[in-house]
Amino acid sequence: MSDEAKPRGLRRGLTNYGDFGFSGYLRRSFASSMGYSREMLERPIVGICHSESGFNNCHRAMPELVEAVKRGVLAAGALPIEFPTVSLGEVFLVPTSLKFRNLMSMDVEEMIRAQPMDAVVLVGGCDKTVPAQLMGAVSADLPAIQLVTGPMSTGRYHGERLGACTDCRRFWARYRAGEIDDVEIAEVEQRLATTAGTCAVMGTASTMASIAEALGMMPAGSAAVPAVDALRLRLAEETGRMAVGLIGSDLTPSHIITEQALENAVRVLLAIGGSTNAVIHLAAIAGRLGLQLDLKRLNVLSDTTPVLVDLKPTGAFYMEDLAAAGGIPAVMRELRHLLNLDCLTVTGETIGERIERWDPWVDRAVVRARDQPVQDEGGLVALFGNLAPNGAILKRSAADPKLFEKEGRCVVFSSLDDLANRIDDPDLDVHADDILVLKNAGPRSESCMPEAGYLPIPKKLARAGVKDMLRISDARMSGTAFGTIVLHVSPDAASGGPLSFVETGDVIALSVRDRSIELRVAPDELQRRKAGTAPAAAGPAKRGYDWLHSEFVTQAEFGCDFRFLMKDAADR
């Protein structure tokens, strides 16, 4: 069937009652009950997939954004129809939002596939919503375009700019150290997140917005524009127009997110000093395409990609400053000698064409020239060794270089509850040069890999002036956090990985130079520990999505996606 002959709009994907004439008649009848004219019902349809929720502060301004998308769709001659999906408010979910990212991706995929639409606009912003939407759209492979809610604008406190959530952590660390009191921390609490939007720094939400743009799935310059800026609404309107232009084209996610485009995204991730969470999300997106995010290849790219963006948590500025400085196109222009410039975007232009058409002005305080970088090497590095045979991740741009080559004694916490119960115990046997280790916080644990890798400095050390320690876990870390923290240790402890056998008093050696992380315990001793380890407690009986997650979630290097959602699994 030619493209011109394919059913569009309400005729697309008719519910089968055994009589397609009746199916169309019935669908038009019920659509008419919503007040649409027959002329409107004859138009092609752009679905607007959004994740508004009262439990998602990042999406507070989403209704206005959706209305702007509708304007663009209508102006371009199509019919916009919005539909909700699961929403993932980062700080409102237990045990962690990552557990429900795959659920949201399934919701997005199936609703795109099941409902009559010719293209779709994906409207999200909070940490896991953008990757979930991209994962679902990749699997459905209908023409799609991403629109993010945009970052918050900064607040003010005693003359200082504040932005969630790097400054949240900075003030909380001061509070734990006894430098500020209950009254001041309560005042700060009211000034950290003062507008609609995602975190104001290069956290996971901003990182994923930047990556979506680098992949070519968003309009140029749209990642960093603040949520409350009128330009955000104009971008939404233009996104609606663009979506109509995608109808009937082959510019589907599988044609845009290629292996070369993924490499571009990794380059940008490294150059912006982005969140470690992005490694997991990019791996999951790649898996939906039958591709793999190779952690050893990440190291090669990291060694040749400088950090160019001076944003918190690793620098001085905020996302609103990046928007004013030239945005992601300005970053990509500095990287153009390293990028695959012929990759396509949703606008039909190539990455190279997009860069050349962008305003050449740039604020060098925020986006550095490649010969004057913030750091000479990329923000992330993958580590391998007998403690992490399948890899682990360190955000070196947010870490203390003095700890990059370190060997030290471990202080081990067996779980998140153990950590909470003992970390501030004044009798805890811990010293500033020790290594804190958290086990059983990975994807297959009961806690489902929360952002708990940012282990707090024990209170007695914090009050003595200790600001950083080497910390290791199979958990994740918020992109807004900083510190010398090794994350995503794989296989995780709950799967019986080597991390599960680490004991307090063991010695671990970290070498960022050699990309290694080694447990200095003799192999025969590790075998003895493995043989003597009792099976983990079964925990409460699982059902529903809880059972699905525990049975099918993969390790971090595969993006913690479900095995049956990955492309190779779907093809079997």
C-alpha distance across the termini of the chain, in Å:
27
Strand partners, 317: 311
Domain with 437, as residue range(s), is 380-533
Residue 253 included in any domain? yes
Q: Are residues 102 and 163 in the same domain?
A: no
Q: Are residues 292 and 260 in the same domain?
A: yes
The pLDDT of residue 2 is: 46
d(CA 424, CA 414): 15
Model's pTM, two decimal places? Answer: 0.96
The pLDDT of residue 4 is: 53
d(CA 117, CA 137): 13
d(CA 108, CA 51): 10
Q: Within 13 Å of residue 158, how many CA atoms lie on the same side as its CB?
A: 4
User: What b/e sequence results for 235-272 when a residue is b if at least 16 CB atoms lie within 10 Å of its CB, and e otherwise?
Assistant: bbbbbbbbbbbbbeeebbbbebbbeebbbbbbbbbbbb
- E strand spans, 181-317: none
Residue 9 included in any domain? no
Q: Are residues 414 and 328 in the same domain?
A: no
Q: Are residues 406 and 528 in the same domain?
A: yes
Domain boundary among 357, 388, 408: 357
Residue 299 has φ and ψ, to the nearest 5°, of -65, -40
d(CA 85, CA 151): 21
Asked if 542 contacts 428 with a C-beta cutoff of 8 angstroms, the reply is: no
Helix or strand or coil: residue 79? strand
Helix or strand or coil: residue 124? strand
The pLDDT of residue 5 is: 65
Q: Are residues 400 and 449 in the same domain?
A: yes
Q: Are residues 92 and 116 in the same domain?
A: yes
Q: Are residues 343 and 387 in the same domain?
A: no
Residue 6 included in any domain? no
Q: Are residues 330 and 473 in the same domain?
A: no
Residue 1 included in any domain? no
Domain count for the chain, please give it.
3
Q: Are residues 174 and 227 in the same domain?
A: no
Dihedral sign from CA coordinates of 294, 300, 304, 308: positive
Q: Are residues 138 and 170 in the same domain?
A: no
Residue 7 included in any domain? no
Strand partners, 414: none
Q: Are residues 62 and 122 in the same domain?
A: yes
pLDDT tens across the length of the chain (572 residues) = 445 568 999 999 999 999 999 999 999 999 999 999 999 999 999 999 999 999 999 999 999 999 999 999 999 999 999 999 999 999 999 999 999 999 999 999 999 999 999 999 999 999 999 999 999 999 999 999 999 999 999 999 998 898 888 888 889 889 988 999 999 999 999 999 899 999 999 999 999 999 999 999 999 999 999 999 999 999 999 999 999 999 999 999 999 999 999 999 999 999 999 999 999 999 999 999 999 999 999 999 999 999 999 999 988 999 999 999 999 999 999 999 999 999 999 999 999 999 999 999 999 999 999 999 999 999 999 999 999 999 999 999 999 999 999 999 999 999 999 999 999 999 999 999 999 999 999 999 999 999 999 999 999 999 999 999 999 999 999 988 889 999 999 999 999 999 999 999 999 999 999 999 999 999 999 899 988 876 565 567 789 999 999 999 999 999 999 999 999 765 53
Domain boundary among 303, 322, 357: 357
The pLDDT of residue 541 is: 73
The pLDDT of residue 6 is: 82
Asked if 476 contacts 280 with a C-beta cutoff of 8 angstroms, the reply is: yes
